């Protein structure tokens, strides 16, 4: 049946042309699309003999659609329509292989006559291809494209048995193995870059090594995207022998590629009992290869080894990162760098952690770090001015944990340099550092001036003098003020007992805490809570 595709963004014109062809040429099958993007999808699915397309369409115009379609289906017959008598459009269309150029508006009869003429010309063209050798040559040249298209539909689950076997047989794909599995390979140069030569080298190595094993009945490799090769592998041995053969072949392949200065890591899905199980094996292989993010030294990761992927307790690593932020705020460069290594060492120890969780956790840490840098005089926009400091660009492009660790370390070094340039943070005073430390350690009942002086590497008497000079109060008075203000905040939480609040702000004994609180606020903790409750009547009072 002769197939016609109508492409126009104006529904009235599109429908009018369709009705004219259907009414006068009922034996023709007519399809339609409202823009170039939809038209390309329809064309690749139905493979029309004739396309009639408008030029001026939003977002994806007719000429761009024609260029894409010709790349996929060079022999399609195309007529373009336009409301403009523009020679430039006609010239570009001829360069793309358009056979005719018609101006709007068109009468129904004119459209029908031109479609009939096109059908005749197409029929004549097909008759010229009847020579068996020429036709076979044309098919052979197109086979790689059609096979790759089928591979993609196969692993994505868009086609299943028996349609899969039928289409596969037409283009010379066996699909007769008793078992299948999918391997996903990430391939890059040692410097982390990717080029087209990589694909040629990898494909040649795959064909040489995988075809060398008589136990592997089928092997269909294709580059699914830049730097990622997918392989559908079939065999007829017992499952454990088939799996062992595949693993051995893939390890040989990896070693061969490493000799070409290529970095390779492989994710392997579980064995499927039929062609319809290939999609599941593919999804498992994709998940398995994502775990190379944490296990950079492993060449091959089997899906069945990773389980569900752990999600470690966030509070453990968060505590480490909070200490890191404190050291940055105190401008302790060496200690901050060391603490950052501890944070990343935590992730390294949890090498079975879900890689998606790790990336998300590091991204959250990075956002907290940027917020701190804003407080230190570095605006958030500074991070997004250059790829070297852009967190989104870096964190999501890195395929290995070590790369992310190196980037964050370099980012910290750059930020310290920026902080040095900022007059506001060029020299952090001892009192500023002391206040930051007290803010983080006021809950420690043993906190003393001596402890604080030791942290700052200064004499306690000198620190005592600084407090008097700059704060107009003593260290003890300032610490008490911080503790009392924090206690007042906690008293608003009626689920907390007075003893619990006392311990949270650095007092071991409730009686002493209450005495200090009354001296500071002229109210006992209980009286303060009741007074606060009167001001906020919607809070329900509870027994202490």
Per-residue pLDDT at 136 exceeds 70 = no
Low-confidence winner among 119-133, 215-229, 324-338 (lowest mean pLDDT) = 119-133
Per-residue pLDDT at 534 exceeds 70 = no
When the candidates are 3.30.420.40, 3.30.70.1130, 3.30.70.890, 3.20.20.140, the CATH number that belongs to 145-306 is: 3.30.70.1130
Question: Cis (ω within 30 of 0) for the bond into 162?
Answer: yes
Residue whose token pair is 């283009």: 171
| Interval 514-540 mean pLDDT | 80
- The three-state secondary structure class of 52 is strand
pLDDT of residue 539: 40
DSSP 258-282: HTTTEEEEEEE---BSSGGGHHHHH
Residue whose token pair is 């030791």: 454
Per-residue pLDDT at 369 exceeds 70 = yes
265: β partners? 186
- The pTM is what? 0.48
At residue 51, φ and ψ (nearest 5 deg) are -120, 130
Would you give the distance in Å from CA 297 to the centre of its chain?
A: 22
294 pLDDT band, cuts 50/70/90, is low
Long-range CB contacts for residues 253-256, cutoff 8 Å, separation at least 24: 253/205, 253/206, 253/209, 253/210, 254/299, 254/300, 256/205, 256/209
Does domain 3-127 fall under CATH 1.10.150.120? My reply is no
Per-residue pLDDT at 92 exceeds 80 = no
Residues in contact with 529: Cβ distance below 8 Å, sequence separation at least 6, in sequence order: 491, 492, 494, 541, 544
Residues in contact with 437: Cβ distance below 8 Å, sequence separation at least 6, in sequence order: 326, 330, 452, 455, 456
Low-confidence winner among 33-42, 292-301, 315-324 (lowest mean pLDDT) = 292-301
pLDDT of residue 81: 83
Give the torsion sign (CA, 276, 273, 298, 315): positive
pLDDT of residue 299: 82
pLDDT of residue 177: 92
**Range from 1-5, 91-95, 187-191, 535-539 that averages highest in pLDDT:** 1-5
Does domain 430-535 fall under CATH 1.10.10.60? My reply is yes
Give the torsion sign (CA, 142, 148, 151, 153): negative
DSSP 363-409: HHHHHHHHHHHHHTT--GGGGGSSTTT-HHHHHHH--SHHHHHHHHH
Residues in contact with 243: Cβ distance below 8 Å, sequence separation at least 6, in sequence order: 181, 271
pLDDT of residue 190: 67
Confirm if 205 and 219 have CB atoms less than 8 A apart.
no
pLDDT of residue 392: 84
Tell me the pLDDT tens digit for each residue of 235-259. 998 888 999 999 999 988 888 888 8
pLDDT of residue 544: 34
Residues in contact with 241: Cβ distance below 8 Å, sequence separation at least 6, in sequence order: 215
220: β partners? 232
Tell me the pLDDT tens digit for each residue of 474-515. 999 999 999 999 999 999 998 999 999 999 999 999 999 999
540 pLDDT band, cuts 50/70/90, is very low
pLDDT of residue 274: 92
**Given strand 3-7, what is the order of strands in its sheet?**
29-33, 3-7, 50-54, 77-82, 100-103
Confirm if 29 and 18 have CB atoms less than 8 A apart.
no
Question: Cis (ω within 30 of 0) for the bond into 77?
Answer: no
Confirm if 174 and 168 have CB atoms less than 8 A apart.
yes
pLDDT of residue 192: 57
pLDDT of residue 542: 36
| Interval 103-108 mean pLDDT | 80
Gyration radius (Cα) of the chain, Å: 35
Mean residue pLDDT across the chain: 84
Low-confidence winner among 123-137, 326-340, 388-402 (lowest mean pLDDT) = 123-137
The more confidently predicted of residues 32 and 398 is 32
Between CA 230 and CA 251 the distance in angstroms is: 15
At residue 538, φ and ψ (nearest 5 deg) are -75, -10
Confirm if 463 and 432 have CB atoms less than 8 A apart.
no
Per-residue pLDDT at 428 exceeds 60 = no
In what helix (H) or strand (E) does residue 25 lie, and over which residues does it extend? none
DSSP 178-202: SEEEEEEEEEEETTS---HHHHHHH
138 pLDDT band, cuts 50/70/90, is low
189: β partners? 262
What dihedral do alpha carbons 451, 455, 456, 462 form, nearest 10°?
A: 10
């Amino acid at each position: 049946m002769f197939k016609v595709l109508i492409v126009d963004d104006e529904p009235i014109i599109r429908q009018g042309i369709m009705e004219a062809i259907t009414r006068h040429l009922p034996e023709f099958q007519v399809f339609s699309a409202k823009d170039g993007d939809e038209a390309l999808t329809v064309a690749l699915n139905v493979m029309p003999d004739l396309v009639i397309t408008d030029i001026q369409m939003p977002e994806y115009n007719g000429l761009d659609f024609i260029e894409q379609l010709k790349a996929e289906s060079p022999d399609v017959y195309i007529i373009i329509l336009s409301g403009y008598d523009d020679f430039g459009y006609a010239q570009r269309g001829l360069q793309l292989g358009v056979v005719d150029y018609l101006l709007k508006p068109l009468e129904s009869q004119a459209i029908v006559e031109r479609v009939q003429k096109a059908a005749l010309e197409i029929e004549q063209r097909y008759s010229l291809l009847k020579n068996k050798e020429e036709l076979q040559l044309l098919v052979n040249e197109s086979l790689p494209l059609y096979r790759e298209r089928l591979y993609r539909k196969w692993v994505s689950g868009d086609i299943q048995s028996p349609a899969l076997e039928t289409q596969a047989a037409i283009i010379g794909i066996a699909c007769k193995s008793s078992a299948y599995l999918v391997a996903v390979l990430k391939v890059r140069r040692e410097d982390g870059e990717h080029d087209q030569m990589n694909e040629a080298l990898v494909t040649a190595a795959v064909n040489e090594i995988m075809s060398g094993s008589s136990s592997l009945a089928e092997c269909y490799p294709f580059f699914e995207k830049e730097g990622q090769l997918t392989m559908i592998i079939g065999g007829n041995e017992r499952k454990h022998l088939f799996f062992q053969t595949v693993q051995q072949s893939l390890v040989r392949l990896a070693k061969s590629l490493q000799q070409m200065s290529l970095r390779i890591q492989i994710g392997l899905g579980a064995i499927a009992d039929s062609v319809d199980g290939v999609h599941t094996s593919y999804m498992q292989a994709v998940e398995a290869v994502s775990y190379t993010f944490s296990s950079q030294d492993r060449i091959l990761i089997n899906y069945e080894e990773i389980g569900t992927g752990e999600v470690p307790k966030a509070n453990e690593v968060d505590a480490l990162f909070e200490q890191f932020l404190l050291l940055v705020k105190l401008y302790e460069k060496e200690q901050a760098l060391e603490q950052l290594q501890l944070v990343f060492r935590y992730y390294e120890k949890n090498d079975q952690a879900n890689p998606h969780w790790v990336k998300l956790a590091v991204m959250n840490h990075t956002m907290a770090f940027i917020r701190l840098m804003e407080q230190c005089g570095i605006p958030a926009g500074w991070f997004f001015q250059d790829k070297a400091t852009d967190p989104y660009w870096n964190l999501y492009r890195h395929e290995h944990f070590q790369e992310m660790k190196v980037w964050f370390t370099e980012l910290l070094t750059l930020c310290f340099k920026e902080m040095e340039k900022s007059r506001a943070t060029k020299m952090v005073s001892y009192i500023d550092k002391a206040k930051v430390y007290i803010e983080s350690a006021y809950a420690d009942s043993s906190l003393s001036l001596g402890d604080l002086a030791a942290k700052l590497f200064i004499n306690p008497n000198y620190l005592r003098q600084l407090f008097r000079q700059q704060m107009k109060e003593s260290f003890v008075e300032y610490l008490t003020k911080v503790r009392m203000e924090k206690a007042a905040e906690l008293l608003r939480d009626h689920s907390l007992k007075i003893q619990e609040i006392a311990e949270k702000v650095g007092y071991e004994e409730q009686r002493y805490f209450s005495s200090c609180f009354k001296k500071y606020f002229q109210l006992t903790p209980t009286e303060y809570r009741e007074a606060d409750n009167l001001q906020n009547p919607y809070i329900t009072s509870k027994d202490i």
